[in-house]
Structure 1
Amino acid sequence: MNYLVFRLYGPMAGWGEAAVGGDRPSALHPSRSAILGLVASALGIRRDEVTALDELRQALGVGIKSYTGGELTRDYHTAQVPSHDRKRRFYTRRDELDAPKHKLNTVLSSRDYRSNGYWVVALWLCGDSRHDLAALADALKKPVFPLYLGRKSCPPAAPLMPTQVEGTLKEALDWIFPPLLDDTKQDRQWLRMGQYSHYCWQGSVDDLGDYDGVQSRNVWDEPISRVPWQFGTRQEHQLTLPVGEE
Structure 2
Amino acid sequence: MSVLLMQLAGPLQSWGASSRFARRTTEAVPTKSGVIGLLAAAQGRLRTDDIADLAALRFGVRVDQRGTLLRDFHTAHHFAGGEAMPVSERFYLADAVFVAGVEGEAGLIGMLHRALREPVFLPYLGRRSCPPSRRLDLDVHPGLPLEQALEDEKWRAAPWYQRRYRQASVKLEIFVEGTEEDGRADTLRDQPLSFDPLHRRYALRGVRHLPSVSVPNPTARTGHDPMSALESV
TM-score for the superposition, normalised by structure 2:
0.79
**Whole-Å separation in 2 of the counterparts to 1:159 and 1:223:** 24
Match of 2:140 among 164, 172, 191: 164
Checking the alignment, whether the CA contact within 8 Å between 2:42 and 2:119 is kept in structure 1 is yes
Seen in structure 2, the aligned counterparts of structure 1 residues 7 and 205 have a Cα distance that, compared at 3 Å, is farther
Q: Distance in 1 between matches of 2:29 and 2:163?
A: 20
1:176 corresponds to which residue? Answer: 153
The partner residue of 1:202 within 159, 163, 177 is 177
Aligned to 2:187: 218
In structure 2, what is the equivalent of residue 232 of structure 1?
Answer: 203
CA contact (8 A) 1:205 1:237 kept: no
Q: In 2, Cα distance between the equivalents of 1:36 and 1:218?
A: 18
On the 8 A contact 2:154/2:215 being kept in 1, the answer is: no
Q: Is the 2:14–2:27 Cα contact (8 Å) retained in structure 1?
A: yes
TM-score (norm 1): 0.75
Structure 1, unmatched stretches of 5+, are 82-96, 208-213
- Within 5 A, what are the aligned runs for 1:138-149? 138-149=114-125
Q: Percent identity?
A: 27
Q: Which amino acid aligns with 2:28?
A: L
Q: CA RMSD in A?
A: 2.9
Kept after mapping to 1: 8 A contact 2:172/2:215: no
SS of the equivalent of 1:162 reads strand
Equivalent residue runs for 1:86-101 within 5 Å: 97=79, 99-101=80-82
SS of equivalent residue, structure 1 residue 134: helix
| Local SS of the residue matching 1:136 | helix
Deviation, structure 1 residue 164: 0.8
The 1:221–1:55 alpha-carbon spacing in structure 2 relative to 1, beyond 3 Å, is same
Give 2:225's aligned residue: none
Kindly indicate whether residue 131 of structure 2 is the aligned counterpart of residue 155 of structure 1: yes
Are 1:43 and 2:43 an aligned pair?
yes
Q: Structure 2 regions of 5+ residues with no counterpart?
A: 217-233
Distance 1:7 1:176 in 2: 10
* Alignment partner, residue 90 of structure 2: 111
Q: CA deviation at 1:179?
A: 5.5
Q: 1:230 to 1:154 in 2, by over 3 A?
A: same
SS state at 1:138 partner:
helix
**Residue deviations 1:15-51 (CA, integer Å, cap 9, x gap):** 11312542111111111100100000000001012x2
Distance 1:178 1:25, change over 3 A: closer
Q: Tell me if the contact between 2:13 and 2:92 (Cα under 8 Å) persists in the aligned partners.
A: yes
Task: Tell me which amino acid in the other structure corresponds to 2:52.
Answer: D
Q: What are the Cα deviations for residues 147-195 of structure 1, in whole angstroms up to 9, with x where unaligned? A: 00000000000111331113232321134358576x5xx442479xx95
Q: Which has the larger radius of gyration?
A: 2
Provide the residue aligned with 1:132 in structure 2: 108
Residue 55 of structure 1: aligned partner:
53
Question: 1:217, 1:109 → 2: CA distance?
Answer: 29
